[in-house]
Structure 1
Amino acid sequence: MAGALGLGLLLALLPVVSASMPGTVVRLNKAALSYVSEIGKGPLQRALQVTVPYFLDRSGEVLQPTRIQILNVHVPQFHLKFIADFGIRLSAAANFTFKIFRVPEPLELTLAVELLADARVAQSSIGTPVISTSYCFPLLGRSSDFDDSNSTSRALLVPVQEHIKAVLSNKLCLSVASLVQELNVHLGTLIGLNPVGPESQIRYTMISAPTITSDYISLDISAVLFLLGKPIVLPRDATRFVLPQHVRTEDTMATVGLSQHLFDSALLLLQKAGALNLDITGQLGSDDNLLNTSMLGLLIPEVARQFPEPMPVVLKVRLGATPVATLHPNNATLRLQPFVEVLAVASNSAFHSLFSLDVVVDLSLQLSVSRAKLQGTTSVLGDIRLKVASSNVGVIDTDQVHALTGSVFEEPLLKHLNALLGIGIALPSVVNLHYVTPEVSVYEGYVVISSGLFYLH
């Protein structure tokens, strides 16, 4: 698997699963190729360390087997570039050091090799990226020995060199092909589910063949969210998401575009899972939470009449309506419309409904990326708006209730919501791949993440 990591990072952000919306676009740019070229030298060197079979010396009356060992492979140059409408071209320079175990003394020689290979990038039948080697050619240079004092060894040198070159001509391309196959196995792991919550997951899939230019490779991705094993489907259709060309990508390794549809699906999942619901319970004698019947009784006489002794009050916050995310240039907002039932705890521990509220909360949404997850933080925009939906305690002055319930409602709601958004949602990635110094930009109807990459070995 180590050999796959070099080229593997080329497509490390390629996602996997179902062929519909919501839309995600991943672009890997020239800067990603430069990074892969640097960290890929080690895996390539190990892949090229092939086994050389014994050389059979036929110059005498008896065949003399001679063992040959590759002592070292050094790759000083490794370069990758995009081939438009095809895939990736690999070019590398490698220096081989061999040891020839010849009596009376072993002999060392070096051989310079230039390696050229073209790899096609396509879409597999299961929605994963697949790479295949279509062309490979090793150009073998002249060899040189380190010790020319032994005439017997020198007489053997020419046929040994030819033997080595014949072996390398055959085995080096097989090693590259094997490296690519390991890579395909590695990329196949992208089809696994990534947890979003205790009972929810997200899975990515390529929905079409990649678009490849001389500057980048771009992949259209479907992201499917699951709750209890069932896909989340929005009640409306969405057009296919296209990452606009004006989004600058030249100076970053990876560019990930996330559509409005993805945010809508994620919020629908949270709403269906009940993750946004919460109970806020008042405590008697608490300075931090004034939710009790005595405080409400000062504003609503009927509450004081029904509960002459102070009892705790509970706010049951339920989101029947799906939260709405709005994406405008440099501005992401979130609207929640919870239904809040105000309950008093009676002396027998039963709940007694006092009244209920329709609430509208507008929030500023700040997005960030940690490792390979998109996270969010919210803060309240303006005033929380309350409207009495029903009452078992007579007429209620909304303004007065707002002053009490609003203050004890806002902080727990934000704490709960930010804890959920802080868990994050997995972005397209592979195991051990992290986003480095990511920048999140909000546009009209979509979000763009521009980031470097780091593979943790």
Structure 2
Amino acid sequence: MARACGLGLLLLLLPPPALGASMPGTVVRLQKAALRHVSEIGKAPLQRALQVTIPYFLSHSGEVLQPTRIQILNVHVPHLHLGFIADLGVRLLAAANFTLKVFRGAEPLGLTLPVGLLADARVARASIGTPVVSISSCYAFFGNSSTFQGAKSASPAWLVLLQKHIKAVLRNKLCLSVSNLVQGLNVHLGTLIGLNPVGPESQIRYSMVNAPRITDDGISLDINAVLFLLGKPIVLPVNATLFVLPQHVGTQGAMVTIGLSQDLFDSAFLLLHKAGTLNLDITGQLQSDTNPLNTSALGQLIPEVARQFPEPMPVVLKVRLGASPVATLRTSNATLRLQPFVEVLAAASNSACQSLFSLDVVVNLSLQLSVSKVKLQGTTSVLGDIQLTVASSNVGFIDTDQVHVLMDTVFEQPLLDHLNALLGIGIALPNLVNLHYGTPEVFVHEGYVVVSSGLLYQS
């Protein structure tokens, strides 16, 4: 796993297989800053991958073949550069210094050998919708070796043959090691396959929909997001539209830029609505200065309530959403509109509940978005006044202006607490195991949201 993680950050946001359901649009754009970061953290796994085994060197000693054991003591990669190749993938250029020990006679021979590596990795989409990376070409270049121990005991001719042996072995094995490292990366990318939980009974799955678009400046991936409730995909009432992320959005110099379309937000809130998690019951208490939700408080506003309930009884607000919340994305401004139906019930003396009246409510909320580790989260606050309309009444005439004051006290804060707890759970963005977003920034644009972020790997 450790080997794959270094270069695995190159394609950290490639998603798992596609599903034929609703297709909210997401675009992930990996940029040059990510390659610079990986160039640093990728040195250690590359060094380990290059620590290959060299077979015995056979040389003639008279008419007898003399085997000589060779061991690589250390591989140091002082330089690793990764760059994008338009329409192909990523180019790796590395410089490595090999320290070798040759066990010959009483005094071992110490050698240092500088090696250069040039490899091109093709990034493509597999038929099942998963990412696949492969080495399309690889070359090893050798500098002049030098001895630092035991050189006097070896003849120049023997040293020439020894170095030819070492270089021939490394020329084959080093590129194979790089290829194996990439294969390990593909295994690591497989951790993207599967469902990420959104709630107890809901999940989200991402998938590549076509081949990545690769330029000299970055890789862009078109991604579908499918949300599931009880194993069934959430399908928008209308077909999702193709989402195109404009160039030059987000933070300049960010490692990764993610574009999240309006359709993704519509699907997420439709899922919450269908799951019923936005519904809540607000229960009053008889002895509370902060929760005057009882028949005594209502009786001061509605005389018929006081007549029917001479003794104080708790009141319950059953809040149910008849329609999915509507999220609106405008430049630097995200809002959420809720239209709950609120039934007001009082506990009767026989422990049954009696319906007093019901309200159609409209609540406009400001939606603030943030990213924590790999999840997009939200918090809300009320914009303006809550709008109330009496839907039905079993207690005669109701003055909505007076009820409005009570609703501001007993309805608004419990609704916000409930909604913010749900949105605080968050929805997973495309990610790899143990990979988190670092210092993310969120920008709201007309019809879409952009996340610009660095990357952090935590083992």
TM-score, with length taken from structure 1: 0.98
**Does the Cα contact within 8 Å between 1:291 and 1:405 map onto a contact in 2?**
no
Paired position in structure 2 for 1:177: 179
Paired position in structure 1 for 2:296: 294
How many matched pairs? Answer: 457
Paired position in structure 1 for 2:243: 241
> One-letter code of the match for 1:390?
S
Once the two structures are TM-superposed, the CA of residue 154 in structure 1 deviates from its matched residue by 5.2
Structure 2 residue corresponding to 1:125, chosen from 114, 117, 127: 127
5+ unaligned residues in a row in structure 2: which ranges?
none
Paired position in structure 2 for 1:192: 194
Once the two structures are TM-superposed, the CA of residue 250 in structure 1 deviates from its matched residue by 4.3
**Does the Cα contact within 8 Å between 1:8 and 1:186 map onto a contact in 2?**
yes
Does 2:116 match 1:114? yes
Looking at structure 2, the residues matched to 318 and 248 of structure 1 have their Cα atoms a distance apart, in angstroms, of 37
Does 2:398 match 1:424? no
Paired position in structure 1 for 2:457: 455
> One-letter code of the match for 1:397?
D
Deviations 1:89-128 (A, max 9, x none): 1100000000001111111101111000011100012211
Does 2:167 match 1:159? no
> One-letter code of the match for 1:27?
R
Looking at structure 1, the residues matched to 251 and 301 of structure 2 have their Cα atoms a distance apart, in angstroms, of 58
Correspondence list, 1:370-389, <5 A:
370-389=372-391
Looking at structure 1, the residues matched to 365 and 407 of structure 2 have their Cα atoms a distance apart, in angstroms, of 18
Looking at structure 1, the residues matched to 341 and 308 of structure 2 have their Cα atoms a distance apart, in angstroms, of 24
Deviations 1:149-206 (A, max 9, x none): 5334655322211111110011001101101111111112212110000000001000
State the percentage of identical aligned residues: 77
Deviations 1:54-77 (A, max 9, x none): 111223322221111100000011
Paired position in structure 1 for 2:210: 208
> One-letter code of the match for 1:277?
N
**Does the Cα contact within 8 Å between 2:107 and 2:150 map onto a contact in 1?**
no
Correspondence list, 1:438-453, <5 A:
438-453=440-455
Looking at structure 2, the residues matched to 79 and 43 of structure 1 have their Cα atoms a distance apart, in angstroms, of 14
Looking at structure 1, the residues matched to 252 and 359 of structure 2 have their Cα atoms a distance apart, in angstroms, of 51
> One-letter code of the match for 1:363?
L
Once the two structures are TM-superposed, the CA of residue 17 in structure 1 deviates from its matched residue by 3.5
> One-letter code of the match for 1:454?
L
Correspondence list, 1:335-346, <5 A:
335-346=337-348
Structure 1 residue corresponding to 2:439, chosen from 428, 437, 442: 437
Looking at structure 2, the residues matched to 103 and 347 of structure 1 have their Cα atoms a distance apart, in angstroms, of 102
Q: Which secondary structure state, in structure 1, belongs to the residue aligned with residue 323 of structure 2?
A: coil
**Does the Cα contact within 8 Å between 2:250 and 2:450 map onto a contact in 1?**
no
5+ unaligned residues in a row in structure 1: which ranges?
none
Q: Which secondary structure state, in structure 1, belongs to the residue aligned with residue 61 of structure 2?
A: coil
Looking at structure 2, the residues matched to 422 and 250 of structure 1 have their Cα atoms a distance apart, in angstroms, of 28
Paired position in structure 1 for 2:277: 275
Paired position in structure 2 for 1:11: 11
Once the two structures are TM-superposed, the CA of residue 4 in structure 1 deviates from its matched residue by 1.3
TM-score, with length taken from structure 2: 0.98
Looking at structure 1, the residues matched to 391 and 189 of structure 2 have their Cα atoms a distance apart, in angstroms, of 53
Q: Which secondary structure state, in structure 1, belongs to the residue aligned with residue 64 of structure 2?
A: coil
> One-letter code of the match for 1:180?
V
Looking at structure 1, the residues matched to 415 and 251 of structure 2 have their Cα atoms a distance apart, in angstroms, of 37
Q: RMSD across aligned C-alpha pairs, in angstroms? A: 1.2
Once the two structures are TM-superposed, the CA of residue 410 in structure 1 deviates from its matched residue by 0.4
> One-letter code of the match for 1:7?
L
Change (3 A) 1:99 1:329: same
Q: Which secondary structure state, in structure 2, belongs to the residue aligned with residue 80 of structure 1?
A: strand
